Amino acid sequence: MTTERLEEDTVAVTIEDGIAWVSFNRPEKRNCMSPKLNRQMMRVLDDLEFRDDVGVLVLTGEGTAWSAGMDLKEYFRENEAKGLGAVRNAQRESYGWWRRLRWYQKPTIAMVNGWCFGGGYGPLFACDLAFAAEEAQFGLSEINWGILPGGGASKVIAELVSFRRAMYHAMMGENIDGKTAAEWGLVNEALPLSNLKARVTEVAKVLLGKNPVALKATKDAIRRVREMTYDNAEDFLVRAQEAANSFDNEGRKEGIRQFIDEKSYKPGLGAYDKNR
């Protein structure tokens, strides 16, 4: 018999060299997202967002899964038995931290080490970048137990892959592996599980070297302009750059100075030294 974890133990956090490694920590349940885990994730995001010792957040899973989606018993059955109020509250808790992650202050990376099903597509899409093990399994299995892929999962698959692939993935209920997920665009790259953390660490270190104000403005811009006409996006991006300058105009000027005056770096080949 498995002992139920305390709420604060449903998420594990380790901070190393500017990287916050955040793990779904219910390996005995394939890291299914329960109301307890959803509440703890919001606390973790609150704690890490403006810490000076955190520059990048990596979201992964303990054990053999990233997240197998929503906990059918604790998230669905038990809340439905309590009535509509409980259902809506559980939805607010889960969608709330996914929304928070989509617009997070720091760059975020999904490190998909194993199973990623259904509701797991919410936080997958919320992360700025995603890397998967070739052995990982992705699936919208909702159709197999008689519901549609809810919780944003239908929107995620329609956003990230082609129309025909989205239809097939959602209607057939078949899994795809990490390699296929990369080919389809669900993740940036797929590589052997044994190499996954090293590659994610490499990417995180590159991000740590960038201007953090520019990174935040950039990640927000990419999400926003997807739904805009070109003219609206053009105007938005001008204003976004001006807003970013108001927060860190000296950083922008320093990058230009190092390039023009010192000739100490080339923007096409790397970042300026933000520690000077």
Q: Convert the pLDDT of each residue in 27-61 to its tens digit.
A: 999 999 999 999 999 999 999 999 999 999 999 99
Mean pLDDT for the stretch of residues 122-149: 94
Q: How far apart are CA 140 and CA 184, in angstroms?
A: 14
Which of these, 117, 67, 115, 74, lies nearest to 93 by C-alpha position?
Answer: 74
Kindly tell me if the per-residue pLDDT of 213 is higher than 80.
Answer: yes
- The first and second tokens of residue 142, run together, are 């909702």
| pLDDT value of residue 90 | 80
Nearest to 13 by CA among 186, 256, 49: 49
- Which helix (H) or strand (E) segment holds residue 240: the answer is helix 230-257
Partners of 24 in the β-ladder: 11, 61
Beta bridge pairs of residue 57: 20, 108
Q: What is the average per-residue pLDDT within 217-238?
A: 93
| Whether residue 179 has pLDDT greater than 90 | yes
Of 21, 24, 61, the C-alpha closest to 40 is: 24
User: pLDDT at position 262, please?
Assistant: 53
- Examine the pLDDT at 265 and tell me if it is beyond 60: no
56-109 pLDDT per residue, tens: 999 999 999 999 988 778 777 777 888 988 788 788 888 999 999 999 999 999
Single out the residue of 33, 62, 64 nearest to residue 136, CA to CA: 64
pLDDT at 20 over 60: yes
Query: Sign of the CA dihedral 232, 235, 239, 241?
Result: positive
Tokens found for residue 254: 């320093």
